[in-house]
Chain A
Amino acid sequence: MSRIIVITSGKGGVGKTTTSAALAMGLAQRGKRTVVIDFDVGLRNLDLIMGCERRVVYDFINVINQEANLNQALIRDKRCDHLYVLPASQTRDKGALSKEGVGRVLEELSQTYDFIVCDSPAGIEHGATMAMYYADDAIVVTNPEVSSVRDSDRMLGILSSKSRRAETNAEPIREFLLLTRYDPHRVESGEMLSVDDVQEILALNLLGIIPESKAVLTASNAGIPVILDRDSDAGQAYGDMVARYLGEEVPHRFLHAEKKGLLSRLFRG
């Protein structure tokens, strides 16, 4: 049985693609056959974050339109044998993502793969609703910030009403919260919503807290999913997230600011 996971948020720039790349890589590293699909037609970026942008020949829309078959379009990751990337089209209109076409491709992928990770575009338009429609699980990526939390709540409403599971009265989509760009220093000084604040409003199963980290930009600069940076806080936090997703009990880390001496407080740049 393959599981379809949508990475969604509503708001843009919160870390959906970073999370999709990390989750897919993390699952694949644990031996799960995984494919990650970019649903952001016209603004594809997953290929860049995965570092396979120069190997894109055919894309998701080509497969939907049957101009190429899946094997031609799927890009095998060079770092991990179990991981494949299905890039979005850069040129087509997002209307090309038909519900039937997406369903057919997902059905075909589910014959081969254990996990299908769908990287949703921002917003609540067609591309985003297509990314979530067939999902079994949803990871709602949220920043501790008012507009992001509000948009996440909106997304939860859409997940529970406009998905295949909702329409067929099947068991609802499992919803998880991933809090990203979390800055414990600012939380402790009362400047930033804490994980408890966000949970009080969204009340979701907390899959992880990814700290604000320089490693994320460094990783995207190089086209290496940040989860591969095992020395970084964000990389470790994403590793924990994957473990939790697979049902392991892992305590949350990076929740508290490191204690600093007086001198480093005074002279911090």
Chain B
Amino acid sequence: MGLLDYFRSTQQKGTANVAKERLQILVAHDRAARGCPSYLPKLQQEILEVIRKYVDVDLSAVSVNYEQEESHEVLELNIILPDTGKHRI
């Protein structure tokens, strides 16, 4: 490391912080996905198709969450319906 590099490196500090933040998000996401049944994405897709027969919802309007607790498992469905005026039927 020469003199110039020394000054340069003191200016651009902190990529380790970026790495840590990215990792925290990524690992939390990976852990949530772990242990989920493999049919979950297909389930979400098919639920969305059924709902879209009746209501004009956005692709991101359905979220499926799977949680494992000690004695039971929770499958949570969250559907955001659009304002009433936009219904197809």
Residue A189 contacts which of B2, B9, B22, B27 (CB distance < 8 angstroms)?
Answer: B9
Q: Are A193 and B16 in contact (CB under 8 A)?
A: yes
Q: Does A214 contact B (CB under 8 A)?
A: no
Residue B15 contacts which of A149, A190, A194 (CB distance < 8 angstroms)?
Answer: A190
Q: Are A190 and B17 in contact (CB under 8 A)?
A: yes
Instruction: Please measure, in the bound complex, the distance between the C-alpha atom of A157 and the C-alpha atom of B10, giving whole angstroms.
Output: 38
Smallest beta-carbon distance A209→chain B, Å: 16
Q: Are B13 and A190 in contact (CB under 8 A)?
A: yes
Please, how many residues of chain A have a CB less than 8 angstroms from a CB on the other chain? 21
Q: Are A153 and B31 in contact (CB under 8 A)?
A: yes
The B-contacting residues of A in range 132-174, CB under 8 angstroms, are 145-146, 149-150, 153-154, 157, 161
Smallest beta-carbon distance B36→chain A, Å: 12
Known: A193-B19, A265-B1. A150 touches B24 (CB 8 A): no
Known: A193-B20, A197-B20, A201-B27. A268 touches B14 (CB 8 A): no
Q: Are A201 and B16 in contact (CB under 8 A)?
A: no
Residues of chain B with a CB closer than 8 A to A187's CB: 16
Q: Are A266 and B6 in contact (CB under 8 A)?
A: yes
Q: Does A200 contact B (CB under 8 A)?
A: yes
Q: Does B76 contact A (CB under 8 A)?
A: no
Instruction: Please measure, in the bound complex, the distance between the C-alpha atom of A149 and the C-alpha atom of B23, giving whole angstroms.
Output: 8
Q: Are A150 and B6 in contact (CB under 8 A)?
A: no
Known: A146-B22, A266-B3. A153 touches B14 (CB 8 A): no
C-beta contact mask, A198-210 vs B, less than 8 Å → 1, else 0?
0011000000000
In the complex, the chain B residue whose C-beta lies closest to that of A266 is B3
Please, how many residues of chain B have a CB less than 8 angstroms from a CB on the other chain? 22
C-beta contact mask, A60-79 vs B, less than 8 Å → 1, else 0?
00000000000000000000
Q: Does B75 contact A (CB under 8 A)?
A: no
Q: Does A48 contact B (CB under 8 A)?
A: no
Q: Does A93 contact B (CB under 8 A)?
A: no
Smallest beta-carbon distance A262→chain B, Å: 10
Q: Are A150 and B26 in contact (CB under 8 A)?
A: yes
Q: Are A190 and B19 in contact (CB under 8 A)?
A: no
Smallest beta-carbon distance B20→chain A, Å: 5
Q: Does B34 contact A (CB under 8 A)?
A: yes
Residues of chain B with a CB closer than 8 A to A150's CB: 23, 26-27, 30
Smallest beta-carbon distance A205→chain B, Å: 18
Residue B16 contacts which of A153, A192, A268 (CB distance < 8 angstroms)?
Answer: A192
Instruction: Please measure, in the bound complex, the distance between the C-alpha atom of A51 and the C-alpha atom of B23, giving whole angstroms.
Output: 37
Binding site for B on A (CB under 8 A): 145-146, 149-150, 153-154, 157, 161, 187, 189-194, 197, 200-201, 265-266, 268
Instruction: Please give 17 more A-B residue pairs, beta carbons under 8 A apart, in addition to A145-B19, A197-B16.
Output: A146-B19, A146-B22, A150-B23, A150-B30, A154-B30, A157-B31, A157-B35, A161-B35, A189-B10, A190-B16, A191-B15, A191-B16, A200-B20, A201-B23, A201-B27, A265-B6, A266-B2
- Which 6 A-B residue pairings sit nearest by Cβ, starting from the closest? A190-B13, A197-B20, A190-B14, A157-B34, A153-B27, A146-B19
Binding site for A on B (CB under 8 A): 1-3, 6, 9-10, 13-17, 19-20, 22-24, 26-27, 30-31, 34-35
